[in-house]
Amino acid sequence: MENKNYQINTSELVKVAASGWLGTAMEFMDFQLYSLASAIVFNEVFFPNDSPAMGLVMSMGTYGAGYVARLVGAYFFGRMGDKLGRRTVLFVTITLMGLASTLIGFLPTYQKVGILAPIGLVILRIVQGFGAGAEISSAGVMVAEFSKTSNRGLIGSLVCLGTSSGTLLANLIWAIILGSVNKENILTWGWRIPFFASFIVMIAAILIRLFIKESPVMAEKKKLLVEERKELQSENKVKTDKKSHKSFMVALGLRFGQAGNSGLLQTYIAGFIVTALAMQKTVATNANIISSLISFITIPLVGYLGDKFGRRLMYMILSLAMAFYAIPMMLMINSKSVIVLTISLIIGLNLGVQGLFALENVTLAELFGSKNRVTLVSLAKEIAGVIATGFGPVIAASWVAAMLDSWWPIAIMVIAFSLVTFFSAYFSKDTTGRDLNNLDDPM
């Protein structure tokens, strides 16, 4: 049903959507910059080792450390968002993310300070992850709460274009550096340039967020909670909150496939192409750039179809298709043909990563009541992220190395991630168009 307790202000919605888009762009830019650096240079700059495969494993492990910090940040800032408001959280998280990413560019290398270099990297990665824990969740909830139910999925998906924008910018920066700077200079100063760019994006995001208002659902929530307390007092009853177990488990599963596929196809595969297939580093970055450009069509299309046919149905279609596509995709990648490999990654990224993400922000917001929405959305995203995106690349790197650079472990993991999302959607309730002022969860 339509939220009738407030009027949708188009100009305010545009500002909120722009704010969410820019914050999402910065988050994905930061983490894509880091993931590509982990796969391409960090194993030499911070984790020198005689075995390239072992250096990649250690580099991916540091990547995963940030996702553990995201879990802590999800709870801390999620509670802040539910108590103090979504707008407050958006200011703090974007600042932490931007400063931590920028400072990574100033770190000394292992050759200069030894073990202090990777320790500094881990600390900044943890700070960056802590800030990012509720950034995209708060932004997604904010936009969903400002949108009309009739086009909530489409508007929410436009914010998700920040993932493509950030990924595109990160890959573009790395492609330029890899194509114009020799390896020696990349290892000395070239790898630092991408991280300095985070500061510019941070300032732009903060400036936009100065002019947005608090979510209208926050005001309505306070009024509904007062009315609820008065009603209970008049009836001499004690409120027992409905547990969020089913909604939360469904949210975890829906997030799991997208997060897992992202970790493999946007993070680990770059290292696999270089170490296992002995191909140029630019192959993965070029594929990500083209995929990000195409997703400017894929993401709003999936968002629109979710509004029209239901987000549950779209989740099932996309995740099942990705499970069937996993083996053909890896066969194409293993062909070592640049064109075939690029096409296979573009399809996989738009199907199992960007396509699912186009549904995610709005679907997870609809799965929870307004009372604890930001906290539960953030925790669902980050718990699944810690398991799938944080440790998925580490498991993949170790498993592939143990199987002498075989592609089968990657295919099996993509299938497993995608099927978890499919069955989570299958056993869930379609919450498309739900009134977000409702205090309680729908399941």
State mean pLDDT over 377-389: 90
User: Can you give the pLDDT at residue 56?
Assistant: 56
Reported pTM: 0.84
Does position 295 have pLDDT exceeding 50, yes or no?
Answer: yes
Does position 424 have pLDDT exceeding 80, yes or no?
Answer: yes
Give the chain's domain count.
1
**Rounded to whole angstroms, how far apart are CA atoms 38 and 43?**
7
Which runs of consecutive H residues, i.e. helices, occur in 310-431?
A: 311-334, 338-349, 355-366, 373-385, 392-402, 408-426
Confidence class for position 57, pLDDT limits 50, 70, 90? low
Would you say residue 51 lies in a domain? Answer: yes
State mean pLDDT over 242-260: 89
Which single residue is written with the structure tokens 């509720």? 134
Would you say residue 441 lies in a domain? Answer: no
Q: Give the lowest-confidence range in 5-14, 23-32, 172-181, 266-275.
A: 5-14
User: Can you give the pLDDT at residue 238?
Assistant: 55
Domain residues for 70?
10-232+243-426
User: Can you give the pLDDT at residue 5?
Assistant: 43
State mean pLDDT over 293-309: 95
385-420 burial: b if 16+ Cβ within 10 Å, else e: bbbbbbbbbbbbbbebbeeeeebebbbebbbbbbbb
Q: What is the dihedral of CA 169, 174, 177, 179, to 10 degrees?
A: -110
Would you say residue 438 lies in a domain? Answer: no
State mean pLDDT over 20-40: 81
User: Can you give the pLDDT at residue 246?
Assistant: 92
Read off the DSSP letter of residue 214: P
**Rounded to whole angstroms, how far apart are CA atoms 369 and 244?**
9
**Rounded to whole angstroms, how far apart are CA atoms 310 and 305?**
7
Would you say residue 104 lies in a domain? Answer: yes
Q: H/E element holding 281?
A: none
Q: If we measure between CA atoms, which residue out of 116, 21, 34, 99 comes closest to residue 67?
A: 34
Whether the CA torsion 5, 6, 7, 10 is positive or negative: it is negative
User: Can you give the pLDDT at residue 352?
Assistant: 96
State mean pLDDT over 293-303: 95
112-120 long-range CB contacts below 8 Å, 24 or more apart? Answer: 117/45, 117/46, 118/46, 118/47, 118/62
* pLDDT tens figures, 67-111: 778 889 999 999 999 988 888 888 889 889 889 989 999 998 888
Q: Give the pair of three-digit tokens for residue 309.
A: 């046919």
Whether the CA torsion 126, 128, 130, 133 is positive or negative: it is negative
Confidence class for position 2, pLDDT limits 50, 70, 90? very low
Would you say residue 193 lies in a domain? Answer: yes
- Percent of the chain with pLDDT strictly greater than 70: 91
Would you say residue 41 lies in a domain? Answer: yes
Higher confidence at residue 211 or residue 53?
Answer: 211
- Percent of the chain with pLDDT strictly greater than 90: 40
Q: Give the pair of three-digit tokens for residue 50.
A: 């005689």
User: Can you give the pLDDT at residue 31?
Assistant: 74
Q: If we measure between CA atoms, which residue out of 87, 74, 80 comes closest to residue 205?
A: 87
Q: Give the lowest-confidence range in 134-143, 325-334, 363-372.
A: 134-143
State mean pLDDT over 173-195: 85
Does position 4 have pLDDT exceeding 70, yes or no?
Answer: no
| CATH number of the domain residue 189 falls in | 1.20.1250.20
**Rounded to whole angstroms, how far apart are CA atoms 172 and 287?**
11
User: Can you give the pLDDT at residue 62?
Assistant: 61
> Which residues, including other chains, have CB under 8 Å from residue 399's CB and lie 6 or more apart?
409, 413
Q: Give the pair of three-digit tokens for residue 304.
A: 């629109």
Does position 3 have pLDDT exceeding 70, yes or no?
Answer: no
Higher confidence at residue 99 or residue 65?
Answer: 99
Would you say residue 1 lies in a domain? Answer: no
Would you say residue 318 lies in a domain? Answer: yes
State mean pLDDT over 182-203: 86
Higher confidence at residue 298 or residue 224?
Answer: 298
Main-chain dihedrals φ then ψ at residue 302, nearest 5 degrees? -65, -40
Burial of 187 (C-beta count, 10 Å sphere; 0-12/13-18/19+): middle
